[in-house]
Amino acid sequence: MNTGMNTDMNPAAKPLAVITGASSGIGAATARTLSALGHPLLLLARRVERIEALGLPDTLARSVDVTDAEAVAGAVREAEALYGPADLIVNNAGVMLLGEVSRQPADEWERMFDVNVRGLLHGVRAVLPGMIERGRGTVINVSSVAGRKTYANHTVYSGSKFAVHGMSESLREEVAGHGVRVVTIAPGAVETELLSHTTDEVVKADYQAFKDSIEVLAPEDVAAAIGFAYQQPQRVTLRELVLAATAQVA
Ligand code: NDP
């Protein structure tokens, strides 16, 4: 069986893992976790200097906007030429621009769907044909608890994350027969830069007050869940992991 690993060169070598949105928060923590497990990495985000500052071994860092399908595919090709076929992609890049639909600028809706939905599909497409051909591989899509239920000021963000949940479920049906796993990770609030891009200052202050009122998850908590799902035997798919701070009520 072709394991998808670079076994010709080194039987102990771990296969390539691709992570989008690796310059901060959950993506950077996941990069550290997978690197510690011995995987060579392709790390993508626009701020490549932040990725390089992680200082991880066997890592290709590329400044890629996930809304650019060709740039994502090109970086994957380059990494596969160096490290062998991608066995894992963590589609993590995302933006959260909270606000009320009645007042929110429409370009904020477009950005969320562009990055959270179209960008995620670009990641999937860059690795999936190879995974199907090899009969193995894992796609981990980072959604949110806001992809399962609704919250105030989250309408469009929630819509983009419900899309991630729905597409992940359907994609699993598409590829299960080819030995490819699809995992959805749905975290509650995590201490990252995610909120910083919201432009409505009142909404931002409200959400910050909620975050300050409890001990939210750390990015490492989500990275550990991603590592746990990936390390299951290939015949086991943890279809969805939902995790939130114990103190998060809703
Ligand atoms: P951060 O803002 O800390 O990280 C977001 C990452 O996405 C950054 O690395 C950023 O890199 C990258 N990114 C954003 N836009 C693009 C783009 N167009 N092209 C490439 N990369 C992009 O937030 P988190 O770590 O919290 O977010 C990671 C994921 O987790 C997101 O999908 C988010 O929705 C999800 N999530 C987060 C929760 C939270 O409470 N923090 C809760 C539930 C889910 P750069 O700007 O350098 O391009």
Whether the model pTM is above 0.85 = yes
Q: Which residue has the tokens 């928060």?
A: 25
What is the predicted pLDDT for the residue at 23? 98
Dump pLDDT digits (tens) for 151-191.
999 999 999 999 999 999 999 999 999 999 999 999 999 99
* Annotated domain spans of the chain: 7-243
Average pLDDT, the chain: 96
Q: Which of 47, 194, 208, 248 to mutate to test the pocket of ligand 1 (most atoms within 8 A of CB)?
A: 194
66 lines ligand 1 (CB under 6 A): yes
d(CA 142, CA 55): 24
User: If you take atom 33 of ligand 1, which residue's CA is the nearest one?
Assistant: 94
Task: Please give the average per-residue pLDDT across 22-39, as a whole number.
Answer: 98
pLDDT band at 5 (very low <50, low <70, confident <90, very high): very low
Using the predicted structure, report yes or no on whether residue 227 has a pLDDT greater than 50. Answer: yes
234 lines ligand 1 (CB under 6 A): no
Dump pLDDT digits (tens) for 108-146.
999 999 999 999 999 999 999 999 999 999 999 999 999
First to last CA, the chain: 45
Domain 7-243 class?
alpha beta
Active site residue 157: yes
What is the predicted pLDDT for the residue at 9? 55
Helical ranges in 59-154 per DSSP H: 69-83, 106-113, 120-134
194 lines ligand 1 (CB under 6 A): yes
**Angle of the 106-113 helix axis to the 155-175 helix axis, nearest 10:** 20
Q: Which of 68, 96, 217 to mutate to test the pocket of ligand 1 (most atoms within 8 A of CB)?
A: 96
